[in-house]
Amino acid sequence: MNERLLEILPDIKAIAWDTCHKIYLLMDEEQVELMVGYGYGDDMIKATDSTPEMLLNTLEDWYANSCGLRFIQAVTTKDDPNEGFEDIIAQFSDSGEE
């Protein structure tokens, strides 16, 4: 994975995947609750139920098994929700189509 992911890994509260291409790093408890509400509960791993190494291994597995539109974004609660997204691995970054 990349350097930014390794940098924020200790601060992640949970990771979530739509089982297709959207992988999220949830950086606060409000985002965890929002994603549960959006239906990500079955495809979410909370940091309190895992280790950083297990989270990283899971992210690598999810990414490898995602479709070509895959991306990883960190999501933090902000006053303007659109400002809360940070590309960790942007869509198409590994395909040459960016």
pLDDT on residue 94 = 77
pLDDT on residue 41 = 84
Q: What is the DSSP string of 7-76?
A: HHGGG--EEEE-SSSEEEEE-SHHHHHHHHHTT-GGGEEEGGGS-HHHHHHHHHHHHHTS-TT-EEEEE-
Answer yes or no: is pLDDT of 98 > 50: no
Residues 50-97: pLDDT tens digits?
Answer: 999 999 999 999 999 999 899 999 999 999 988 999 999 999 887 654
Chain-centroid distance of CA 14 in Å reads 8
Residue 65 CA: distances (Å) to CA of 13, 24, 46: 22, 15, 20
Mean of per-residue pLDDT scores for the chain: 93
Q: What is the pTM of this model?
A: 0.91
Residues 30-54: pLDDT tens digits?
Answer: 999 999 999 998 889 999 999 999 9
Q: What is the DSSP letter of 80?
A: S
